[in-house]
Amino acid sequence: MTTLDARRAAEIVARFHDQRILVVGDVMLDRYIRGSVNRISPEAPVPVVAVTGETASPGGAANVARNVQSLGGVTVLCGVVGEDAAGRELMEVLGRDDINAGGVRRFPDVQTTVKTRVVAGRQQIVRVDWDVPLDLSERQVDLLCRHVADLTRESSGVVIEDYGKGCVRQEIVDAVLSVARQRRVPVGFDPKENHWLKISGVSVATPNLREAYAGAGLPERPLAADALKDVALRKAAGILLQKWRPDLLIVTLGPQGMLLLSQNEPPAAIPTRAREVYDVSGAGDTVIAACVLALAAGASHYEAAGLANYAAGVVVGKAGTASCSQEELLAGFQQTP
């Protein structure tokens, strides 16, 4: 595997601003309630959080779009939200962050997904989800398919971001891949463990450990100290490589980095670049965003994986669903011994 140095990384990153990346998938609102804990409730053995602040940010596919933009690319977000208060708030948040949400459709019979995390200091106390899977009509699916095909024609790369909420379905995947193959546009797929989609032809797939085992139809096993010598993981990854037929399969392993498998090169493992793990929320969003952006900018598959690994190392050192800037990404290469 070719080593990615600071000079080559800078060459690739310099081309990010020329890339238009379509992000298709499950959009949601991430809300954070922050405070401090000084006592236990007299009503039940639970902490009492004295709230000091509340913030809202783009979640799911919307956070992927924010990462693309933060890294210097041009992004267009495509998904579904409801005509409810949370949907209005999410659209306002996207506007505040200057994210192009022209591909987001609002339907009256949809409930917008909201994930609310209560955080005291550096500890997440609880997460509360308002979450009803989409039940789209045939007309709505057809509308989305035609819309996503048009947006793919205008893009230099596509991310399919599946959070299992119902937006990512076979018809949508087929609409993206049909156009992407014709235009030779790289497509990245970030899966969820409860989906079984035919995605043959994607450039890169980025399951985490649990998703890799689920996608392979195998029981999850504890991760070995050396991912390359983890027989169970290698078996699961090999099944996915044959099943999904991606050009590159990246299994993200949290503190242990990534396992990379491709159709033409031997497996490789790259260690995490995180100096400190503060919050892993949204790290997978950063990986797929950086990887597809790099592929669109002319990086090889392993170069794209290396850039994505550095970007993930940045965001896990931040609180909440965060993003990585070009400056932070390139600084990581400068600091590498």
CA-based torsion, 288, 289, 293, 294: positive or negative: negative
- 295 sits in the region (left: phi over 0; alpha: psi -120 to 50; else beta) called alpha
Q: Which pLDDT belongs to residue 51?
A: 96
Instruction: Read off the pTM.
Output: 0.91
According to CATH, the superfamily of the domain at 6-29+59-113+134-335 is Ribokinase (3.40.1190.20)
DSSP 113: P
Q: What is the pLDDT of residue 278?
A: 44
The first and second tokens of residue 83, run together, are: 């005509």
Among the residues of the chain, which ranges form H helices? 6-13, 61-70, 85-96, 138-153, 170-183, 209-216, 231-244, 283-296, 301-315, 326-335
Residue (of 330, 315, 317) closest to 63 by Cα position? 315
In DSSP terms, 75 is beta-bridged to 21
Which sequence positions are flagged as catalytic? 285
Residue 279's pLDDT is 44
The pair phi, psi for residue 332, each rounded to 5°, is -60, -40
Domain ranges of the chain: 6-29+59-113+134-335
Closest CA to 187 of 171, 173, 198: 173
pLDDT in tens, the chain (337 residues): 556 788 999 999 999 999 999 999 999 999 999 999 999 999 999 999 999 999 999 999 999 999 999 999 999 999 999 999 999 999 999 999 899 999 999 999 999 999 999 999 888 999 999 999 899 999 999 999 999 999 999 999 999 999 999 999 999 999 999 999 999 999 999 998 766 789 988 999 999 999 999 999 999 999 998 999 999 999 999 999 999 999 999 999 987 889 999 988 889 988 876 555 444 455 788 999 999 999 999 999 999 999 998 888 887 766 555 678 788 888 877 765 5
**Angle, alpha carbons 188-193-196 (nearest 5°):** 75
Q: Are 31 and 60 in contact (CB under 8 A)?
A: no
Supply the pLDDT for residue 319. Answer: 59
